[in-house]
Amino acid sequence: MIHTTPKLSSFGNCTRSLQMPTKAFILIEVQVGRANQVAGSLRLLPEVSSAEVVTGTFDIIASIEVSNMAAMADLVTSQMQSIRGVIKTITCVTAG
Q: What is the pLDDT of residues 19-72, one digit of tens each?
A: 678 999 999 999 999 999 999 999 999 999 999 999 999 999 999 999 999 999
Q: What is the pLDDT of residues 69-89, one digit of tens each?
A: 999 999 999 999 999 999 999
All domains of the chain in start order, with CATH: 14-93 (3.30.70.920)
Q: What is the 3-state secondary structure (H, E, C) of 15-83?
A: EEECCCCEEEEEEEEECCCCHHHHHHHHHCCCCEEEEEECCCCCCEEEEEEECCHHHHHHHHHHHHCCC
- The SS3 call for residue 34 is coil
Cβ atoms 65, 48 nearer than 8 A = no
* pTM to 2 decimal places: 0.79
